[in-house]
Structure formats: structure tokens, C-alpha cells
Structure 1
Amino acid sequence: MMTDPTLVIAATCLVGLIVVAFALLRGWQGWLAYKREALDRLQRGAGHGEIEGGAAVGAARIELADMKERIKKLEAIASGVEL
């Protein structure tokens, strides 16, 4: 019994497409699980102070203060005041 080459190629492409779709679905589910865990960690860490692991909050405050200082310097330059 001879099989048509077009049928074999179509079946192979269909199987390959199913494998790729399954791999992408598994990757998507893994990425969603990773993001859920990250959100859970963020929510658990939100109640802690800076000493107990909220170092990111302290770093953000320092960065914000640095940006405010830069803005003051730029405003002084724009108005012609020498610092």
C-alpha cells in the first residue's frame, strides 16, 4: 500500500504543530506560576519594616531623594543661580 507523500507531510506538520503548541502552553503555565509566586512574596514582604527585609523600600527612598536633589540642581541651573 503506497501512501501519498502529501498526506505524510501534512500529518508530520500537524504532529509538529501540536508538540510546539504543547511546549508553549507548558511554558506559559510556568511563567504564570512564577509571577504568582513573585506576587505572593511581594505581598508577604510588604508588611515588614526596612530592617527585616524591606531593603528595596529604603533603596527607593534614597533614589527618590537623589532625584529630588538633581531636580533642585537643574532648576537652579535653569534659573541662572550658581550653586
Structure 2
Amino acid sequence: MRAGRLKGALGSADRPASALGFRRVLAVFGALVLLIGAIAAFTMTDQTWLVVVLGAGFLAACVNVYWVNSRLHNERRTR
């Protein structure tokens, strides 16, 4: 066995469950908040810079959601 490699089922005492599931919930929530903020800024203000900043934040949050989903998929696939 290689050093640093955990053995056992995910969630057992030998291999504790990761926090990626909760991180996915937070990532999706953050993306939704940024999307709602960008839509509100577009409809309620004439501040173009605010719409651009919130839109860029939404795109970055979507990348984060994709990254967390792929990590979670890879973690569950290696069980």
C-alpha cells in the first residue's frame, strides 16, 4: 500500500467523507445569488459596471460549481 492512501469505504472511520457535497450546495447558492444580483442590477439600475462585475462573478461561480461537481464525481467513482 502506498503511503498516504486511505483504505475503506467512503464515510467509514478509515476514509471519512469529504465536504464536497456541502461545498456543492454552497457553490450553487452563491451562483444563484450572483445571478439574481446581476438581473436586479440590470433591471433596477443604470450602472453597467455593476452588471458586468456581477455577471463575471456569476460565470466564475458556474465554473466553481462545475469543478466541485467533477471532483465529487471523481471521488465517488474511485470508491
Name the TM-score class by shorter chain. Answer: 0.3 to 0.5
**Normalising by the residue count of structure 1, what TM-score does the alignment of the two structures yield?**
0.40
Greater relative contact order (CA < 8 Å, ≥ 6 in sequence) = 2
**Normalising by the residue count of structure 2, what TM-score does the alignment of the two structures yield?**
0.42
Larger relative helix fraction: 1
